[in-house]
Amino acid sequence: MEPAFLNLGCKVPTSQYAFELSTRAVIKELNLPIEVQQEYNCCGFPFISLDKNAWVYLAARNLAFAEKAKRNLLPICNGCFLSYVEAREELLHDSKLRKKINNQLAKEGLKFTGKYKIVHLIDIFYEVRDEIKSKIVKNFDKKKIAVHLGCHGEEERNEEPIDGIPRIDKMMTIMRDLCIETDLYPTIHECCGAGGIISEKDLPFKMSGNKLVELIEMGYEGMATICPFCQSQYETKQAVISQIISKKVQLPVYYLTQLMGMAWGLDEETLGLHLNTSL
Amino acid sequence: MNFDETACYICAKCTSGCPTAAYDPTFKPHVIVARSKVDHENLLEEENLWSCVLCKRCERRCPQNVSPLLIVTELKNESYKHCKDHVPKGFEVLIKLVKDTGLASREETIITADFDEFEREDLGLPPIPDINTKVITKALTELGFFDKICEESRSTSTEE
């Protein structure tokens, strides 16, 4: 793979520590040319609903830092991923906006040109699939775990998937490589609801709760995510969900990076498994 | 992202796939698209614009290359600009956070199922890097993020 900056975003380094721990561990084991981006800020996505300039500026600043270091940008979070993909499109197709944003970036000696790519963890893991398989010391022996890629990790409308394989299929293939039993299910594309939390309504938790209930009823023994917002909705907030939908919901939810590390025999603390409240 | 916002023929495929619509029958993306052309002012008063979970499914399902999500987002942007009461108060917290820290969430001590408490340091994670919030706030100010057009009856103050 080409060298990339791992952008930790906001949610992961401030509360979803298990994702940071397990991602750092997996990247190290795979010996990938990835460095944690040291100079960065919020990806701007929380402000997309308020002001286009603010959103695009915040995203562009991080893209420009990566560009300056001649690296692709690898956001750990799906929300950040989509923010960068969309902001990049806006900047490339709107020269007035690009000029306005670049005027600000120039004050720090930065510039956005769009020369470097925004890459997704799933595409990278799929690329090194053989390496992931070769490290397995203890497979999951057909444990039934549901895949949840997350809306903002899915390909855009009319977007050609990398290598012709959609990310959701890649994620399932990686899980199957670990000897996890996983298949399509009716609500596979159902949203975790995190994008609606700001409204302070019950709706986002009903959304995540009903999906968990359905998976439990279908006999799933767990769920795998790759996004801190999805994980927070399905894992961290399980107690809140149980209250809101008046039904005890309990399903172990893991980050894909934790599952990979488990199959490789890495210890619990390295993978932050002791921080998961649903296990 | 080349959407054709005039091409909607109200097939409602967006609404039939919308997860919010499934829980809140008053939220109908196809109706918002239709009304956005003829009833813009009243739409700006709609509190349930904020029920959208930003999943993008409406946009991905549309056979006519319309993005209901983009229309909803633009309505929200305008609501914010015009200080509508229905803009969730949580945004004030996010704005303050990004000005103070450069991020949109604050570092937390997390509690495990066994009531053990952990901070980054306890887990062997390095501190979050320093972020140049001065530069960021100045840029956001110059880009007009804090300039709002509030009605006279309400407070005319803008952020900062």
Q: What is the DSSP letter of A232?
A: I
Which residue has 């959103």 as its token pair?
A55
Does A22 reside within a domain? yes
| A99 and A147 part of one domain | no
Please give the single-letter amino acid code of residue B92: E
Q: Are residues A68 and A144 in the same domain?
A: no
Give the domain extent around A179. Answer: 137-275
Q: Show the CA angle centred on residue A161, arms to residues A156 and B69, nearest 5°.
A: 5
Quick one: A30 and A93 in the same domain? yes
Within a domain: residue A81? Answer: yes
Which secondary-structure segment (H or E) carries A82? Answer: helix A78-93
CATH class of the structural domain B13-81: mainly alpha
Q: Are strands A222-225 and A253-255 parallel, antiparallel or unpaired?
A: parallel
Residues ≥6 apart with Cβ < 8 Å to B8: B30, B33, B34, B62, B64, B66
Model confidence at B152, pLDDT cuts 50, 70, 90, reads low
Contact with chain B for residue A239, Cβ under 8 A? no
B1 pLDDT tier (thresholds 50, 70, 90):
low
The whole-number average pLDDT for the span B5-11 is 94
State residue B156's pLDDT score. 47
Whether A130 is in a domain gets the answer: no
Flag if B103 and A14 touch (Cβ within 8 Å). yes
The band of B159, judged by pLDDT with boundaries at 50, 70 and 90, is very low
What is the DSSP code string of A174-227? HHHHTTEE----TTTT----GGGGGG--SHHHHHHHHHHHHHHHTT--EEEE--
CB contacts under 8 A, B 30-49 vs A, are none
Residue B50 and residue A191: Cβ atoms within 8 Å? no
Contacts of B19 in chain A (CB under 8 A): 190-191, 193, 207
| A170 within domain boundaries | yes
B102-126, pLDDT tens digit by residue? 999 999 999 998 999 999 999 999 9
- Domain end, chosen from A57, A84, A106, is at A106
Residue A68 forms part of a structural domain:
yes
Both tokens of B19, joined, read: 């997860």
> What is the domain-level CATH number for residue A230?
3.40.50.11810
Residue B154 pLDDT greater than 60, yes or no: no
Q: Quickly list H helices, chain B.
A: 13-17, 19-23, 29-38, 40-43, 57-61, 68-81, 90-101, 133-142
Token look-up 């949580």 returns: B90
Could you tell me the two tokens for B84? 């509508």
**A204 at the B interface (CB within 8 A)?**
yes
> Are residue A45 and residue A165 in the same domain, yes or no?
no
Same domain, A70 and A143: no
CA A176 to chain CA mean position, Å: 19
Low-confidence ranges of chain A (pLDDT < 50): none
Residue B160, pLDDT above cutoff 50: no
Region of residue A31 (left: phi > 0; alpha: psi -120 to 50; beta: else): left
B135: which chain A residues are within 8 Å (Cβ-Cβ)?
107-108
Nearest residue of chain A to residue B116 (CA atoms): A275
Same domain assignment for residues A164 and A231: yes
The domain limits of chain B are 13-81, 90-142
Residue whose token pair is 């000005």: B99
3-state SS assignment for residue B46: coil
B5-27: average pLDDT: 95
Model confidence over A157-184: pLDDT tens digits?
889 999 999 999 999 999 999 999 999 9
Residue B91 Cα distances to B75, B95, B111, B156, angstroms: 16, 6, 26, 18
Looking at the fold, whether A150 and A70 belong to one and the same domain comes out as: no
Is residue A102 domain-shared with residue A193, that is, in the same domain?
Answer: no
Chain B residues 60-119 within an 8 A CB cutoff of chain A: 60, 62, 65, 73, 76-77, 80-81, 87-88, 90-91, 94-95, 98, 102-108, 110, 112-113, 116, 118
Residue A112 lies inside a defined structural domain of this protein: no
A166 and A221 assigned to the same domain: yes
Question: How far is it, in rounded angstroms, from Cα A259 to Cα A276?
Answer: 12
The pLDDT of residue A27 is 98
pLDDT tens track for A188-212: 999 999 999 999 999 999 999 999 9
